[in-house]
Amino acid sequence: MEMQPYLFFDGRCEEAIAFYQKALGAKQIMMMRFKDCPDPSMIPPGGGDRVMHARLDIGGATLLLSDGSQDQPKFQGFALSITAADPTEAESKFNALADGGEVRMPLGKTFFSPAFGMLADRFGVSWMVYVA
């Protein structure tokens, strides 16, 4: 069994994919638009070019994304976590994700890690970056 986070971006999914490709080296495995759906009733009005489903590989982990929600995204109550190999990699990933976002705890040494920090990226998704 696998568990995979599925994030909804309400019109910003393609932007998020490009951001995660640049910031984290994500690889796009697949992307399907609403207009590709064989059932026209599933296509939101004016939403044919929106992303219905996308799959990214980030360091061997799967992240699923969509524009499917018609609600304003509220990424609350969870954080995605990245384990970096060393403080240099942690700093690189942290800074890339923080670009246009909000640093909630600057990356620094803690009692449990040589590098740990928390942030919300430009889409409001919470991240923790640390070295195990």
For the chain, which ranges sit under pLDDT 70? 69-70
Q: Where are the chain's structural domains?
A: 6-66, 80-131
Q: Which residue has the tokens 């928390």?
A: 118
Residue 118 sits at φ, ψ, to 5 deg, of -130, 145
The separation between CA 102 and the C-alpha centre of its own chain, rounded to angstroms, equals: 15
Nearest Cα to Cα of residue 24 among 54, 52, 56, 53? 56
pTM reported for the whole predicted model = 0.93
- Reported as a single tens digit per residue, the pLDDT across 104-125 is 999 999 999 999 999 999 999 9
Q: 55-90 b/e with 16+ CB inside 10 Å = b?
A: bbebeeeebebbbbeeeebebeeeebebebeebeeb
Top CATH class, 6-66: alpha beta
Write down the CATH number for the domain with range 80-131.
Answer: 3.30.720.110
